[in-house]
């Protein structure tokens, strides 16, 4: 028999599914509680407001990306460029559901910029580390900004690239990391 996930995680799972269905702007605490199968009081015990729930969702999304990046790092050969390669790989292989969830949370953040503070902090820390990857800071920053730009265009469904072009851009980013471009 499989143990039931912690209630907090169960609520976050339900909220993510709801956001994928209706968008963060239309998510209500009542709907999340119903989807999670908990009382509204039970939900409020863990998340005192919709904003607190959205903040937890953003935080968990960042934690999952960091975990994917860390796992990818472990599977790459040792070397100073390993961290940057892992970032590219984690960014370029984002699942569609994660993209849709990210887009919805980004929209919620547009209405309340405070929700995006953990994302700002993540990028402050990431850019502070860019000089440690065996490349000049500027080159590492250009690579990071390029992959983030591609990710953002795809997130907003604005990318004009077809699969072949995207694969070519991805290969070029890795060549830039390796210093062969």
Which residues form the domain of 45? 7-178
The answer as to whether 1 is a domain residue is no
The answer as to whether 144 is a domain residue is yes
The answer as to whether 105 is a domain residue is yes
Q: Residue 101 to residues 58, 104, 109, 121: CA-CA distances in angstroms?
A: 9, 5, 12, 19
Predicted local confidence at residue 128, as pLDDT: 96
The answer as to whether 167 is a domain residue is yes
Q: Residue 37 to residues 21, 41, 83, 168: CA-CA distances in angstroms?
A: 17, 12, 40, 46
H or E element that contains 81: none
The answer as to whether 70 is a domain residue is yes
Predicted local confidence at residue 2, as pLDDT: 45
Total number of domains constituting the chain: 1
Predicted local confidence at residue 5, as pLDDT: 59
pLDDT in tens, the chain (181 residues): 444 558 899 999 999 888 888 877 788 999 999 999 999 999 999 999 988 998 888 888 888 888 989 999 999 999 999 999 999 999 888 766 667 677 767 767 877 888 889 989 999 999 999 999 999 999 999 999 999 999 888 888 888 999 999 999 999 999 999 986 5
The answer as to whether 57 is a domain residue is yes
The answer as to whether 2 is a domain residue is no
Map tokens 């863990």 to a residue: 46
Q: What residues contact residue 100 under an 8 Å CB cut-off, 6+ apart?
A: 20
Predicted local confidence at residue 180, as pLDDT: 61
The answer as to whether 19 is a domain residue is yes
Q: Considering the entire predicted model, what is its pTM? A: 0.83
Domain with residue 122: its CATH number is: 1.10.357.10
């Amino acid at each position: 028999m499989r143990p039931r996930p912690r209630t907090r995680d169960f609520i976050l799972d339900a909220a993510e599914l709801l956001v994928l269905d209706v968008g963060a702007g239309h998510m209500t605490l009542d709907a999340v509680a119903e989807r999670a199968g908990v009382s509204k009081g039970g939900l409020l015990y863990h998340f005192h407001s919709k904003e607190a729930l959205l903040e937890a969702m953003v935080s968990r999304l960042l934690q999952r990306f960091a975990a994917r990046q860390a796992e990818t790092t472990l599977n790459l050969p040792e070397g100073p460029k390993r961290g940057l390669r892992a970032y590219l790989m984690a960014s370029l292989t984002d699942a569609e559901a994660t993209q849709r969830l990210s887009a919805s949370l980004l929209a919620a953040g547009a209405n309340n910029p405070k929700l995006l503070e953990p994302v700002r902090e993540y990028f402050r820390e990431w850019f502070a580390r860019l000089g440690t990857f065996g490349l000049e800071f500027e080159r590492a920053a250009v690579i990071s900004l390029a992959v983030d730009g591609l990710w953002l265009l795809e997130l907003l469904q604005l990318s004009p690239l077809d699969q072949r072009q995207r694969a070519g851009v991805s290969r070029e980013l890795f060549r830039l990391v390796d210093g062969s471009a």
